Amino acid sequence: MAYSGKLSQEQEVHLRQELTDNLYISSKEVADYIRHIFSVKNTSKGVVKLLHRLGFVYTSPK
């Protein structure tokens, strides 16, 4: 069984939509959003893994 993370599937859908609609500069900002909205604590490293699992990639601003 694969690790599904701390967020439910519905929360992941909500987060995916939030990240599609709004720009977050750092994984710390995303972790703060997750803690504020879902009351779930994540490290920045954990958020990076979550974002990769959700199909997001980091691109450097130009």
Q: So where are the chain's domains? A: 9-53
User: Taking residues 43-54, what's their average pLDDT?
Assistant: 93
Helix (H) or strand (E) holding 29: helix 27-38
Q: Is 80 exceeded by the pLDDT of residue 52?
A: yes
pLDDT band (50, 70, 90) for residue 58: confident
Q: What pLDDT was estimated at residue 3? A: 52
| Amino acid at the residue 32 | D
DSSP 20: H
